[in-house]
Amino acid sequence: MKALLSTLNRLNHVYDQLDLLNFRAHKNLPLTFNKADSKKLLPQNKRLYFSYSYLNKEKTRLTNLMLNQIIDLKLPLFIKDKMIHPQMIDKALKLKNIDQNHSKKRFSLPSRNRKINKLKQLISMIEDENLNLCHGYLNQIYIILLIHNALPLDLRKKTYQAGELLHDNEFRTKLLQYDYDRYLYEEFEPGNYLRLLIYSRTKRMPTYIRSFDARKIVPDAANCGFSGIAFEFSIDGIRECYIAFRGTEANVDNTIRSRSKRFEQSILETYKDWDYNVNAILIGSDKNLEQLKAAREFVRYIENNILPQTIIYGVGHSLGGHFVQTLQLMDNCFDAGYTLNSAPVNLKLIQHVKPTLFSDETWQKLFNLTDDTDGIKFITPELRQQINRLLPHDYSQIINECFEQDMTQVFYELPFTIWIGQKWEYNLSNWKYPFKNHPRAYLSSGEIHAYQKFFEQLFAYLSDSNSSAQVVRNSMSFIRLRTRILHNTISDPRTAKYFFDYSNYLYQSGVFTDRPQKINQEFIEQNNSVLRGSLREWPFLKSINTDMLSLATYFHVIDGAKHFLNRTPNKL
């Protein structure tokens, strides 16, 4: 048993190192194509490939060793319950199959064997490892041993302190990731995963655990796309409850073999979340309040059903972080909380849901402070102080952690948006990452409002979509209609300026690799085909940098964002 545990721990460490290597590879991907950056790639690629080669071989060796050790394992409990041993072998075989399928896959070299293509190929190879799936099956083996009292425990003597887990980066990120990966643990009670996680982070064991699933408690949660899970537990007499809110990233079951079914699930989940993101956060309207109502009902249920004197923490990623901040501002329901790459609070949304939170005079002061009628909205330290003085409580117990150039930070420059509590921004030194999270430096107030209006109209157009196919089809139809309108009105100087400014912002952010050009009359008079004419007149439209879009997504999701958290933040 001791040898098996050593192998499990070493294999878990290899998965962690592969995950870190994936971050390093993404970090090294150049988004500028000058000779100096390209020259640096050759030694970087060699080091990364060497590390990957070693870790991949070690992963295969440990996977085979683990399978053999589990097959040969003999424990007294196998006699009492004859299903335990086959269950463990099944998990080990699944890890073996993932490793074998990966080793059999041939990653063809790109047509141009450039250094950047070699790096992108390495990223594809690491992502094909399915590390979250591997971690899930490995955790299942640990859980089987734990729930049958076969996992030797090395408990520390010092008792648990209140909030100890809240301040543990790895605990928070794994708890947030659980809601995305919960399909991996459906055969176990949710509390069993938390028991394993608590022990691995504190070397103490909870004496009581209870879980709450929003989609089982709140009738409309699944229909509107809201997802959250809460865990109430007691350690050494300390009672705590963590309420975790999921972000916009779709909760896709990667064990589903059918790509079409996975795609269907992903599109619908993402659409529901973005419908709320646009109407509630981007616009601040009352057209889609179902997710916020579900979140509020979920928290109230938990407050009424947990043990007395339980400390309640709220944690959330992306959209989930918006719920933590918004619920705290409205109801002051958390003793403390953390968010990761959080979307902001929209004061207009709060007014729709809880108009009595402030007096009419205070509402107007807040709107004046966060409006952009002067064409500029930057939350300066002085502005933050003015906003905080108007809020009903001190929210410094809420910590909002984010990658400094995360794409959700764009939301904070929209009118009537704020954050509550502290904001900790993380970044890398001497790093070239071009995304601009301050669009106000490139877009006017009118252009920001036009941007908001575009997405408001898009989701109004999609409101009758009931399937992923309809969402995709109606989205393409809307874009074609708006492109036709652009084609017909491009002679208007205001339209031409808006289009150029949007394009220039995307170019400055690395989304386009070619600089946009101004509109000229030749395009207006001679080009009849919207698509061909646009590409001929504006060749930069063909220069979309998909690498930049992939990086922006990777650094936003938990897999990428968590690797910034071991650095020193800039505290705002």
pLDDT tens digits along 352-388: 999 999 999 999 999 999 987 655 566 778 888 999 9
- Written as one letter, the residue type at 199 is Y
Residue 184 inside a domain? The answer is: yes
Residues 478 and 527 in one domain: yes
Domain assignment of residue 361, yes or no: no
Co-location of 431 and 450 in the same domain: no
Give the β-pairing of 336-340 and 311-317: parallel
128 and 262 fall within a common domain:
no
- Assess whether 427 and 492 both reside in one domain: no
What span, in angstroms and rounded, lies between the C-alpha atoms of 418 and 384?
9
**Is 367 contained in some domain?**
no
pLDDT, residue 538, reads 67
Q: Which two tokens stand for residue 379?
A: 């939350």
Please provide the distance, in angstroms rounded to a whole number, between the alpha carbons at the two ends of the chain.
49
Predicted local confidence at residue 524, as pLDDT: 46
Q: Model pTM?
A: 0.91
| Same domain? 229 vs 142 | no
Distance CA 368, CA 377 (A): 11
Confidence (pLDDT) at 259: 59
Report the distance separating Cα 375 and Cα 392, nearest Å. Answer: 28
Q: Are 127 and 57 in contact (CB under 8 A)?
A: no
What lies within 8 Å, CB to CB, of 26 at 6+ separation is 123, 551, 554, 555, 560
CA distance 224 to 228: 12
Same-domain check for residues 222 and 145: no
Distance of CA 427 to the CA centre of its chain: 17
In a domain, 525, yes or no: yes
Beta-bridged to residue 210, according to DSSP, are 232
Q: How far, in whole angstroms, is CA 96 from its chain's centroid?
A: 29
Please list the ranges in the chain whose pLDDT falls under 50. Answer: 521, 523-526
Counted domains in the chain = 3
Asked if residue 198 belongs to a domain, the reply is yes
| Ramachandran angles phi, psi of 161, nearest 5° | -105, 140
Residue 412 CA to residue 419 CA, distance in Å, equals: 8
In a domain, 456, yes or no: yes
User: Same structural domain for residues 129 and 189?
Assistant: no
Residue 549 domain-assigned? no
48 SS3 class:
helix
161 occurs within a structural domain: no
Examine the fold and report which residue of 152, 185, 201 is the final residue of a domain before the chain moves on.
152
Residue 311 phi/psi, 5-degree rounding, is -80, 130
Per-residue model confidence (pLDDT) at position 251: 53
Q: Two tokens at 216?
A: 């089982």
What is the C-alpha to C-alpha distance for residues 7 and 9, in angstroms, rounded to an integer?
A: 5
Q: Which H/E stretch holds residue 536?
A: helix 530-537
Give the pLDDT score at 168: 96
Range of the domain at 285: 169-345+393-410+418-435
- Closest by alpha carbon to 16, among 100, 154, 121, 134? 134
Tell me, yes or no, whether 136 and 192 share the same domain: no
Clarify whether residues 238 and 134 are in a common domain: no
Look at residue 350 in the predicted model and tell me its pLDDT: 96
Is the domain of 86 the same as that of 233? no
Instruction: Specify the pLDDT at position 560.
Output: 94
Q: Tell which of 83, 118, 152 closes a domain.
A: 152
Shared-domain flag, residues 204 and 331: yes
Pair (39, 100) in one structural domain:
yes
